[in-house]
Each structure stands twice: as C-alpha cells, then as structure tokens.
Amino acid sequence: MSPAPIRAGDLSAMLATNVPALAGHLLPAGHRDGGHWRCGGVDGSPGQSLALHLHGDKAGVWHDFATGESGDALDLVAAVLCRGDTRAAMDWARRWLGVEKGSVPPPRKPPEAPQREPRDDDAERRRWALALFLEGQEGILHTPAAYYLAARGIALAELARQPRALRFHPLCRCTEAKRPLPAMLAAITDGAGQHIGTHRTWLARDRAGTWGKAPLQDAKKTLGPYAGGFIPLWRGASGKPLRQAPAGEVVAIAEGIETALSVAIACPELRVIAAVALPNMARLVLPPSVGRVILCADNDDDNPKAGALLGRAADRFAAEGRDVRIARPPTGKDFNDTLRAEPEA
C-alpha cells in the first residue's frame, strides 16, 4: 500500500520549519531584519518591500507591501519559482525537503536592483508610498533623522512619546541624486487614518558633520497623493487618534514637519498636524469633534500668495462651524525660528 500523498498544507508547514534556509535559497539578495527576511519582491531584487517571517507562529508567512501579494511558505515558492503554479511548487518543495527523489535547481542568481517606478495612478502610488514607509526604521532617536531635527532645535526627547508618523530610511532612492540617500520619512494619512502618501526629507552631513537637508534642488518630496491628507505628529492631551478625538478638540495646523514639531514642543497639550503644503490647509478633512482650529502661519514675505491661501483655509473651517484662530511666530519666519531663538535653560 503506497503512503498517502503529502498535502499542500503539510508541505507548507515543513517549509516553514526550514524557512531561514528557504529564504536564502529563494531570495539570496535579501537580508535579515530582526525576525524577518527582506528583499525587493518575489523577483528576488534587493530591497525591503517583501517581508518574510523567519520564526514563531508566523514562520513562512510573507507580504509584499508594494504589490499587496502575500501567503505562506508554499505560496512563496509558487510566486518565486513557478509563476503562481501551486502544483509545480509542491513538486519542487518535495524535492527540496528530501521527501521525494530528484534534483533541486541551484539557488537563483540575485538580479540587479531594478529602477522601478510606480505607475501613474493613485492606487499604485499609495501602495508604493506605504511600502516605502514600512521599509523605514521605527523609532528615529539616535538616527540621522533625529540629529537633523536636533540641529533645527527640535529635541524629540522633550516629547513624552515619539511621533509614530516619523521613520528613518538609510537608503531611500533619490531620482535627483541618482542614488539612494538617507531620509526622514513621514506618513501622510486621510481623515479615516488611512496611509495615502509618504513625505521624504533627504539628509546629508555638512563638512562639520552636522546633519541637514541634502544639497538638492528638491530635498523634500511626497510619494502618493496627499490632497486633503496630513501628517499626524502629536496627539495632544487626549492621546487619541484624530478620528477618535473628543468633542471640542483643538487642532493646531502647521505647514511643514519642523514647524509642527516646534509647536508640539512649545504646546504639548495641543494636537498638532502638518498640512504638507500651504495650499493643502484648506483641503484638510477634519472630524466634526474638532471645535477649534489654530492655523500656525509663517511670516512669509517671500510668498505673496500665502495670505490668500491662509485666508481660504480660515474661511473653509469657519464655514464648517469651527472656531478659527491664526497664530503667527513672535520671532523669525516660522515657529521653528522662534523655538531656536529661545535661550536654553
């Protein structure tokens, strides 16, 4: 009597117990990142968009944040080697695991890193934006992103909790520089808390060793659509997400990340968000619970349209029945200038 055939679920479980070796065989261009094996995708390219669990109950489970593909260890074999053919993947897995005689193809040769760009549609760019943000390092203290902010007078240690919307990426692709550069990443979300875009600030050291914006024509860019979205940098006294804000919530809206963080340090009781760009202030979608809006304006004599754009935002929020205040920095061009002008205690 011949033994019962090994089912797909059994093969997947057997692969999962050997997933570190499997990862190196299928995706040799990848690398360990804590409890994950990361690479650029099922094509085996270098990168971090695909994450494969190496240990624990989720061993063998993987997800490609750029494409939305996911599955177990057998699905990974099918995606990498067999163009999605599960039956062919099962045949390969039986030979690789040694439960069936037959030669196993040698490990695939790592391909060169592709210079891929997201297609020009919102859904695709949102997926790429989320994948890029998830590639970033959580907890930016003691990273160049934190050193850059410190050079701007923003000491994250002064905040009771670190903004989760910020991450650091050591090698973020920069088209202008034609090479990857270190970057501070910021999550852009909509009113429902969905990630819709990622803001990038490319960084570089100057001759003195101080971290600042990279010497580029555009050192700051967004990936993904951001109209109506914002960067949630500080939750204020309630500590709740904006969509769960208590009735009568006060929200301070600044244009950029550095200005918003400066306001958060000066007034930690306020909820503070960054609108990414001044024209976007009037497009922000806020929940009905927000009773007062404080627009943190710059003393921007270089932009003759700034006053009109600020007035448009104020009119929009007032028309929604909210109390609107406009705050201007007492010193310098913006609130970050004011923060840096304050004498140290």
Q: For the chain, which domains are there?
A: 8-97 (3.90.580.10), 122-221 (no CATH), 227-345 (3.40.1360.10)
pTM of the model: 0.66
pLDDT at 114: 42
Q: Residues for the chain: how many in total?
A: 345
Look up residue 330 and give its two tokens. 């007492």
Residue 39 DSSP symbol? E
For the chain, which residues score pLDDT lower than 50?
1-2, 110-116, 345
Of the candidates 327, 267, 325, 321, the residue with the CA atom closest to the CA atom of residue 289: 321
For 6-22, write each residue's pLDDT tens digit: 788 889 999 999 999 99
pLDDT at 345: 45
pLDDT at 341: 65
| Contact call for residues 234 and 311 (beta carbons, < 8 A) | no
Task: Find the angle CA(138)-CA(212)-CA(132) to the nearest 5 degrees.
Answer: 35
For 199-225, write each residue's pLDDT tens digit: 999 999 988 889 999 999 999 999 988
Judge residue 56's burial from the number of C-beta atoms within 10 Å of its C-beta, 0-12 exposed, 13-18 middle, 19 or more buried.
Answer: exposed
pLDDT at 300: 66
